Structure 1
C-alpha cells in the first residue's frame, strides 16, 4: 500500500534494532538502507545522502547519540512526501499495510509516532513488551480491532493517541492502571463501554482526556476532579448519561470542557451546580454543553464564568429562562451559540458589549421583542443567526456597522418595516442574506446592487412591493436569488441577465407583468427559474432553449401565448411547467397542449365568430361555474406537479448515477425499508461519503408520483428538529430510460420506532429495547413535531399517516417524523372537501392508526393526527400494534388499555422491556409507585388523544405540554 510518510520522533533515546544478529553502527545502517529500499518515491533527492560515501550519522534526518555516538537514536523524515512501504525489519515505523509485530521487540524504544498514514490491521499486542515506551501515537490511520490490554503493562507510558481510526471494543481496564498517563486520546473511533468511576483517582496526572465521536455510555466519572492537572476534557458525541459532576471547579488548569451531544441530564438548580463550580476555573476558554435531557432554567451563573472564556455553546437542550443580562462580563467571548433551546424573553441590550464576538447563534428559541440596536457594536461579528424565533419590529439599521459580517440569517420571525439600506452596504456579506418568512414591507432599495459579493439572497414570503431594482444586475456572483411570494409589480428587469453566476431564480407568486426579457437566454449556468403565478405576458421565448445548464423552468399561471418550442429544456416535460397559460399551443406531446392553428383554421374561426356571439351569452352562465371548478382543480394539480423543483431551490441536485453508486446499485443489502410507493436504501454519498437514506419511488404504482410531489411540497416548507431532514432530491431517468424519482434524507442510524417496539427476532429483542425515559423522550419529540406542523406552519400541515414505522431515530435516539407522501395542507384539504363531499373518503393511511371520522367521509383535520398520536402512545407503552391478533370481536388497543386502567392491573398491560434495565434489588416500593404513576399518566394522554369523538380529543399543543410535564415529574422522582 502506498501512503505518505509522516513520522516524527521527539525523544533523544530512540534506539533502532534490527532482527539480524548484527551490532552497533552497522546494524543501524542496514536497517535504514532497508527503509530506503522500500520507498517507491524519493522526491527532491530527500534521501540522496543515504549512501556508503557518507557516515550514517550524517544522513538526512538521522540523529546519533552523545553517550553512544555510533548508535542512531532518532529519525525525523516528516514533510518529505515519501511514499512506499516499510520492511518488518525496520522496527520503529510503518508506512503501509499492517504494523509488523516485530516492532514489539525494540526494548529501548521510548517514542513511537505513526500519525497520518494509511495503516491498517490492529495495534499489535506485542507492543506490551516495549517497557521503556513513553509515547505512542497512531492517529489518522485505518487501524481496526481493539486496544490491546497488553498496553496496560507499559509502566512508563505517558502519552497515548489513537484518535481517528476505526477501533472497536472497550478501553481495557489495564490502561487505567498507568498512573503516569497525562494524555489519553481515542476520539473518533467506534469504542464503547463505561468509564471507571475512579478514573480521576487511577490516572491522577491526566491532563487531556479526548473521547469524542464514540459510543461510550454510563455516567461521567465523578472522580475527574481528583486529577487536578486536567486541562482538556472532551466527551462530546457519545451516550454518556446522568448528571455532570458538580465539583469541576477544582480543576484550576481546565481550559477546554466539551460534553455536547450526549444524554446528560439536568432539570433543577442542583443538577446545574457543575456550572456554578466551573466559575472557579479561571483559565476556562471553551465550554460546549448540549443534550436533549439538559433542561431546567439556564443559571445566571453562566455570566460569572472566567473572562478568558472564548466559546460558549449550549445546543439542542430543553432549557427555559432568558439570556442573562450579565452576559457582557464575558469580555473575550468570540463564539456564543445557544440554538434550539426554549429560551424566552428579549435579547439583552448588553449583548452589544461583547466586543470580541465573531459568531452569534440564537436560532430556534422563543425569543421575543426587537433585535437590539446595540448589536451594531459587534464590529468583529462574522455570522449572525437569529432565525426561527418570535422577534418583531424593524431590522435595526445599526447592522450596517457590522462590516465584517459574512452571513446574516433572520428568517422565520415576525420582523416588519422596510429592509434598511445599510444592510446592502455590507461589503463582506458573501455567504447568505436570508430574511424569508417575515412581515417585511416596502420596496427593495436600489442599494441592493451593493451585494456584489453575495452568493445567496432570500426574501421569500414577505410583503415587499414595488418594482424589482435594475441594480441587481451588479450582483454577478449571486447563485441563489429568491423574491417569491411577495407583492412585486412591474416587469422583470433585463439586467438580471448580468447575474452570470445565477443558478436558481425564484420570482414566483408576485404581481409581475410584461414579457420575459430575451436576455435571459444568456444565463448559461442557470439551473432553475420559477416565474409562476404572475401576470407575465408575451410569447414563450426560445432563448430559454439556449440555457444548456437549465434543468427546471416554471412559467405557470402567466399570460404567455404562442407556440411552445421543442428544443432545449422544452424537450422534457418533467423539466418544465407551463400550466395556466391558456394561449399556448404546440410543444412536445407530453405537455398536452392544443396544436397551433393553421392559416385555414384561423379564417374559419373568424367566420364562426358572429355565430358564437349569439351562443356565448346563453351558455356562459353554466360554463363559468364549470370553468371555475376546472381551473381550481388544474391550478392545484399544476402546483403539485412543480413541487419537486422547490426542494432544489434549497438543496443541490444529484444524478441517478450518483445514487446508484452510493447504494451499490440499489442492492438488497442496502435496503432498509419498503412501502407501497417506495423503497429506502442506505448509502454513502459525495466525496465525504456522507451516510444518507435514499427513498426511491415505485413510479409503476398508481399514486406514487403524486406521493412524491406531495412529499416535496411538505418538505420544502417545513423545518423542525424533530422532522426528517431532507438533503436533496433527484428527478431523472434510470439506465433503461425509465422515469426515476428519489428523495435523499439524513440517515437515521437507529432505524424506525417500529423496529424497536417490534423486533424481528428474539435475539434482537434481547439487545434492543427502550426504557421508560427513552419512550417519554420519543413521545415528546413526536408531539413537538406535530405541534409545529399544526400550529406553526401556514397553512397547517396534516401528516395523515403517523405510525411507528414513519418515526425514525437518530444516533441519540431522538425521534424524527418522516414520510409526508400523504400529507395535506389544511386550507387545501378543507377547500377540496367543500367541492367534493366524498373526497376525504379517499384519504389513505394505515389501518389501526387512521381516525374513525376519515372512514366515514369526514374532512381532513389536525385532530386526525392527534388520534394517530394517541394510538402510538398506547402502542409505545403496551408494545402491541393496534392490528395485533388479540384485537378482534370488538376488542381494540384502546379498549384493551381502558380495561387495564387500574393501578394494580396497569403493570400487566405494559411492555415488560420498559423496565428491563432496572435491577430488582435497586427498586423500592416508592420507585414502583412513581413509575406506575408515570405510566398511567401517559396512557391517559393516549386515551384522551384517541377518543373516538373528534371534538373530545386534546389538541396537539396541550398533548405536548402534558407529556413534557409528565416527563419532568418522572425525572424529578
Structure 2
C-alpha cells in the first residue's frame, strides 16, 4: 500500500513538472515575440489562443510537448536577442540566422544544456563571443559568422568536444587562434575567414584528422606550413589559406591529401618551386596566385603533367608569381571541364601552346602581362563559351585571327600592348555580349568597323595607340552604355561627329593626337563627362560654351589646335590646373592672370572709328546705375551690420528652400518636437545636432538638421560666429549646406543660437569606418571609400584655393564628414575654422587655442605653430590612412610614439606593396564573390581573383601613399590639397576606368 502511494506521488510530481515546463516554454516564446520587431508579421500565429507547438518555426518533442527546435531563419526580425530564450531548457536546435538582430549574444544561452545546433549567422551582433558557450557540451554545430563580433576567440570553445562544425567567419575577431583548438577531435569544418586574426596556425590544428574543411582566408596569419601537412590532414577536402602572410615553400607532403577538392593558397608570400599534384583525382579548384613561386620550362612540364589525373579540375589560377620558361604542350591534357585558366603577370616566354579546342567549357582565358611571342592560336575561336580573353601586355605579333564569329558570349576582349598588325575584324560585331574592348597600343591599321558601334552593351572601347585612319562613324550615337571612348594617338581625320554628344553615359573621351579638323561639337548633354582630351589635332573655331555646363568635368585638354576667341570663364575653366589650352595662338582671356597661367593671349578690344557714341552712352549709364546700387548696398550693410553677421549664412539657400532667412526659437522648437531625445542625431564640442521637420512656404514638410549651440560654454558664441563667417560665401557640392540660422532668445529669456543645415541621411563617416562602435553599420566598399576621399579633397581644395580669403577647417576628422542619400561626402562643422586674411589676426579669424582633435592635429600645432592650410592637409592625410587601414589614429596599437602614418610607412616592404601589409581588407572582400558558409561549390567572379584583385591592391597602395605624402612631418614637405585631389582622381580613373 505504501509503495502504491509513493508511486502515485511520483507520477503527480512528474505530471506537474511537465505542465510547469510546458507553460514556461509558451511564456518564454511569447516574451521573445514581445521583444523583437517582426516586419513581415510572421509571428502573428503566436497567440495565447493556440498551442505553441503549432506556431511558425516551433517544433516540439513527442513526449511532454516541450519546445525542441526553434527555426526563425531569414524573417527580417530585429532587436536584441532576449535572454528569455534561456528558459527553453529542452531546446536542441536554435536557428536565428539571416535576420537583423543586434547587441550582444546573451551569455544565458549557456543554460540550454541540451543544445546541439546554434546558428546566429548573418545578423548585426556585436561585442565578444561569450566564453559561457563553452558549457554547451552537446553542441555539434555553431555558426556565428557574418556579424560584427570583436575580441578574441574564447579558449572555452575548445572544450566543446562534440563540435563538428564551427563557423565564425566575416567578423572583426582579433588575437591568435587558441592553441587548445586541437582538443576538438571531432571537428570536420572550421571557418575563420575574413577577421583580423594574427599569429600562426596552432600546430595542434594539424592533428585533427577528421578535418575536411579549413578556411582562414583574409586574416593576418603568418608563419610556415608544417612539412607534415599532407600526413596530418589526410581527409581535408577544402583548404583555404588565401590572403594572409604565410611564407616558406608549399610542403611536398600536400600530395598526400588526396581528398582535396578545393585548394586556395593565393595572396600570400609562399616561395620556392611550384609543387606537384599527382594524386589529386578529386581536385576541382586550384589557385596559387599572388605569391613568389618560381619555375622553369622543365618544372612547368612536370607541374602540368602532375595535373593530368585531376579530371575534375575546373579552375587553375597561377597569376602574379615568378614563373618563367615556356608552357608545355601537355596543357592540352588537362581536364576538359576546365573553365578558368590564368597564368597572368608572370615571366613566361615562348609561344602560347596549341590544343585549346579541347576545353569547350572554358570561360576565362588569361595570359596577360607575360612575354609570350608569336601568333595567337586561331583554335581559341572554337571556345563558344568564352567570356573573357585577356592577352594584353605581351609581345604577340602577326594579324589577329578572325576568331570572333563563334565567341558570342565574350564580355571582355583585352589585347592591348602587343604588336598585332592588320585590321580590326568586323566579326567582333557578332559578340553581342561584349562590354570591354581593349585593343590599343598595337600596330593595327584600317578603320573601326561600323559593326562595333552596333554593340548594345559596350562600356569601354579603347583603340588608342595604333595606326587607324578614316573618320569616326556617326553610328557612335547608338552606343548608349559607352563610358570610355579612346581613339587617341592614331591617324583619324575629318570632323568629330556631333552624334557623340548623344552618348549620355560617357565619362572619358580621348581623341587627342589625331588629325581631326573642324569645330568642337556641342557636348553639353554629356553630363557624366569627367575627362575630355582633344589635344594635338587641327580643330578650329571657338571653345563651345556648352563645356561650362559639364559639372563633373575635371580634366580638359584642348592644347595644340587652332582654336580662337575668348576662353569661357565658368565650370571647369574656373580650375586652371585642370585645363590645358597651350599652343592655340588665337585664344585669349580678358583676365591677365588667367591668360598668363594658361599660356594664351590677353584679349584686347579693337578700336572702332564709327558707332562709338552708343557704347560710351551705355557705359556712362551703366556706371551710374552701378554707383547708385553700390551706395544703396553700402547703406543696407551699415544699417544691418550687426544682424548680417549672424543671419546672412546662406540666406539665398533659405529662400530657395522656402524657409525664412532667419528663424525663431519657437519654429525650431516645434520642428524638433521640443528638442526630443529621439531627434538627437549627434553631439559636438559646442552643441548638439537634432533632426527637424520644417514646413515650407508651399505647405510641404521636409527634414533638415539643426545645430543648437550650448551657450553655457564660453567659446560657443565664437564657434557660431566662426561657422557663419566661414560659410556665408562658401559654395561647393561637398560642403554641408547651411540653409538659414537663428539668433534669438529661448523660452527662459536666455541667448539661443542655431544653424539649420542640410540633413545627411547616412550619418557621418566615422560610424561607417568603425561600425562595431555602434550597434549598426556596415563596411564601405573600395569605390565608396575612394569616392569619399575625393569628395573631401575636392571640398578642402576649394576652401584652400578658391575662397577669398582662404579657409582653414582646423578639425578635419571622420565625424565631420557627412554622407547624403547617394553616399556623397560633405564636409561640415566649421566651428574651429580660420580665415587666412592677410590683415586678420587669430582672434579675429577663429577660436584661439583650438586647432583640431587628438590624433588629427598637425605636429607643428602642438609646438605653437600658426594655423595654415598645411595643417588641414595633415589632418586629411590621417583621415585617408584611417579610411584605408581601418584603424583610428588613437587606437591602442599606436601608443608609445607609433602614430598611424609611421605605422603605415614602417610596414612598407621592398617591393613597395603596402596594401597586403596594412590595408583594411574588408572592402576588398566586400566586392568579391558571395561568401558561402556551407558549400564546396565553385563561385568565381571573373575579375575578383586576378584582374580586379590586382588593380584593387595597386589602388589602395597608391591611396595610402597619398595619405603618407600628406602627413609629412614638415609642412613644406606636404602636398597641397589641389595636388592631392588630382592624384586621388587619377587613382580612381586608373582603377575603375581601365
Give the TM-score, by structure 1 length.
Answer: 0.61
Give the C-alpha shift of residue 253 in structure 1: 2.6
Is the Cα contact below 8 Å between 1:448 and 1:471 reproduced in 2?
no
2:131 counterpart of 1:125: yes
Give the C-alpha shift of residue 100 in structure 1: 1.1
Tell me what 1:448 maps to.
452
Tell me what 1:75 maps to.
70
Tell me what 2:558 maps to.
555
Tell me what 1:721 maps to.
none
CA distance in structure 1 between the partners assigned to 2:506 and 2:282 by the alignment: 48
Cα distance per residue 1:525-547 (max 9 Å; x no partner): 43332211111112333343454
Tell me what 1:239 maps to.
245
CA distance in structure 1 between the partners assigned to 2:827 and 2:610 by the alignment: 43
Give the C-alpha shift of residue 156 in structure 1: 0.8
Give the aligned length: 669
TM alignment of 1:583-662, pairs within 5 A? 583-586=586-589, 590-592=593-595, 594=601, 596-598=603-605, 600=607
Unmatched 5+ stretches in structure 2: 1-16, 87-93, 612-731, 737-759, 771-778, 802-823, 837-868, 888-894, 916-951, 966-971, 974-994
Is the Cα contact below 8 Å between 1:364 and 1:387 reproduced in 2?
yes
CA distance in structure 2 between the partners assigned to 1:516 and 1:767 by the alignment: 50
Closer, same or farther: CA 749–343 of 1 in aligned 2, 3 Å: farther
Closer, same or farther: CA 144–589 of 1 in aligned 2, 3 Å: same
Q: Of the candidates 418, 424, 428, which is equivalent to residue 413 of structure 1?
A: 418
2:378 counterpart of 1:373: yes
SS in 2 for 1:174: helix
Cα distance per residue 1:715-771 (max 9 Å; x no partner): xxxxxxxxxxxxxx99999999999999989988699xxxxxxx996999x999999
SS in 2 for 1:266: strand
CA distance in structure 1 between the partners assigned to 2:560 and 2:440 by the alignment: 23
Unmatched 5+ stretches in structure 1: 1-19, 605-653, 671-682, 704-728, 752-758, 782-809, 824-844, 847-973
CA distance in structure 1 between the partners assigned to 2:766 and 2:25 by the alignment: 54
SS in 2 for 1:349: coil
Q: Of the candidates 207, 229, 239, which is equivalent to residue 212 of structure 2?
A: 207
SS in 2 for 1:585: strand
Give the C-alpha shift of residue 327 in structure 1: 1.6
Is the Cα contact below 8 Å between 2:230 and 2:256 reproduced in 1?
no
Is the Cα contact below 8 Å between 1:64 and 1:74 reproduced in 2?
yes
Tell me what 1:149 maps to.
155
SS in 2 for 1:331: coil
Tell me what 2:409 maps to.
404
TM alignment of 1:426-441, pairs within 5 A? 426-430=431-435, 432-441=436-445
Q: Of the candidates 297, 301, 304, which is equivalent to residue 302 of structure 1?
A: 304
Is the Cα contact below 8 Å between 1:116 and 1:140 reproduced in 2?
yes
Tell me what 2:860 maps to.
none
CA distance in structure 2 between the partners assigned to 1:733 and 1:487 by the alignment: 49
Tell me what 2:538 maps to.
535
Tell me what 1:620 maps to.
none
CA distance in structure 2 between the partners assigned to 1:138 and 1:130 by the alignment: 15
Closer, same or farther: CA 811–406 of 1 in aligned 2, 3 Å: closer
Give the C-alpha shift of residue 482 in structure 1: 1.0
Tell me what 2:583 maps to.
580
2:494 counterpart of 1:490: yes
Give the C-alpha shift of residue 37 in structure 1: 0.7
CA distance in structure 2 between the partners assigned to 1:385 and 1:72 by the alignment: 57
2:125 counterpart of 1:115: no
SS in 2 for 1:442: coil
Is the Cα contact below 8 Å between 1:684 and 1:691 reproduced in 2?
no
Is the Cα contact below 8 Å between 2:81 and 2:106 reproduced in 1?
no
Cα distance per residue 1:15-64 (max 9 Å; x no partner): xxxxx999421121111111101112342x31111111111111111101
SS in 2 for 1:47: helix
Is the Cα contact below 8 Å between 1:382 and 1:407 reproduced in 2?
yes
Closer, same or farther: CA 460–450 of 1 in aligned 2, 3 Å: same
Is the Cα contact below 8 Å between 1:236 and 1:258 reproduced in 2?
yes
Is the Cα contact below 8 Å between 1:127 and 1:151 reproduced in 2?
yes
SS in 1 for 2:26: helix
CA distance in structure 2 between the partners assigned to 1:762 and 1:35 by the alignment: 47
CA distance in structure 2 between the partners assigned to 1:335 and 1:541 by the alignment: 49
CA distance in structure 1 between the partners assigned to 2:565 and 2:899 by the alignment: 67
Is the Cα contact below 8 Å between 1:566 and 1:587 reproduced in 2?
no
CA distance in structure 2 between the partners assigned to 1:509 and 1:233 by the alignment: 52
Tell me what 1:61 maps to.
57
CA distance in structure 2 between the partners assigned to 1:25 and 1:328 by the alignment: 67
CA distance in structure 1 between the partners assigned to 2:766 and 2:59 by the alignment: 55
CA distance in structure 2 between the partners assigned to 1:336 and 1:197 by the alignment: 34
Tell me what 2:26 maps to.
29
Tell me what 1:793 maps to.
none
Give the C-alpha shift of residue 214 in structure 1: 1.0
2:567 counterpart of 1:564: yes
Closer, same or farther: CA 687–421 of 1 in aligned 2, 3 Å: closer
Q: Of the candidates 188, 191, 194, which is equivalent to residue 194 of structure 2?
A: 188
Give the TM-score, by structure 2 length.
Answer: 0.60
CA distance in structure 2 between the partners assigned to 1:666 and 1:133 by the alignment: 38
Cα distance per residue 1:580-607 (max 9 Å; x no partner): 2222234555531555454525999xxx
2:474 counterpart of 1:479: no
SS in 1 for 2:356: helix
Cα distance per residue 1:449-488 (max 9 Å; x no partner): 2233201111122222222222222222211111111121
2:255 counterpart of 1:249: yes
CA distance in structure 2 between the partners assigned to 1:663 and 1:266 by the alignment: 49
SS in 1 for 2:395: coil
Tell me what 1:512 maps to.
516
CA distance in structure 2 between the partners assigned to 1:379 and 1:128 by the alignment: 54
CA distance in structure 1 between the partners assigned to 2:591 and 2:225 by the alignment: 66
Closer, same or farther: CA 575–730 of 1 in aligned 2, 3 Å: farther
Closer, same or farther: CA 211–732 of 1 in aligned 2, 3 Å: closer
Closer, same or farther: CA 664–763 of 1 in aligned 2, 3 Å: closer
2:84 counterpart of 1:89: yes
SS in 2 for 1:472: helix
CA distance in structure 1 between the partners assigned to 2:532 and 2:32 by the alignment: 60
Is the Cα contact below 8 Å between 2:128 and 2:151 reproduced in 1?
yes
Q: Of the candidates 36, 46, 60, which is equivalent to residue 39 of structure 1?
A: 36
Is the Cα contact below 8 Å between 2:591 and 2:602 reproduced in 1?
no
Is the Cα contact below 8 Å between 1:750 and 1:811 reproduced in 2?
no
Give the C-alpha shift of residue 266 in structure 1: 1.2
CA distance in structure 1 between the partners assigned to 2:914 and 2:69 by the alignment: 59
CA distance in structure 2 between the partners assigned to 1:811 and 1:699 by the alignment: 26
CA distance in structure 2 between the partners assigned to 1:424 and 1:89 by the alignment: 65
CA distance in structure 2 between the partners assigned to 1:371 and 1:317 by the alignment: 23
CA distance in structure 1 between the partners assigned to 2:213 and 2:783 by the alignment: 32
CA distance in structure 2 between the partners assigned to 1:333 and 1:89 by the alignment: 52
SS in 2 for 1:481: strand
CA distance in structure 2 between the partners assigned to 1:46 and 1:599 by the alignment: 81
Closer, same or farther: CA 189–235 of 1 in aligned 2, 3 Å: same
Closer, same or farther: CA 28–558 of 1 in aligned 2, 3 Å: same
Is the Cα contact below 8 Å between 2:376 and 2:400 reproduced in 1?
yes
Q: Of the candidates 174, 178, 185, which is equivalent to residue 172 of structure 1?
A: 178
Closer, same or farther: CA 215–571 of 1 in aligned 2, 3 Å: closer
Is the Cα contact below 8 Å between 1:188 and 1:212 reproduced in 2?
yes
SS in 2 for 1:562: strand
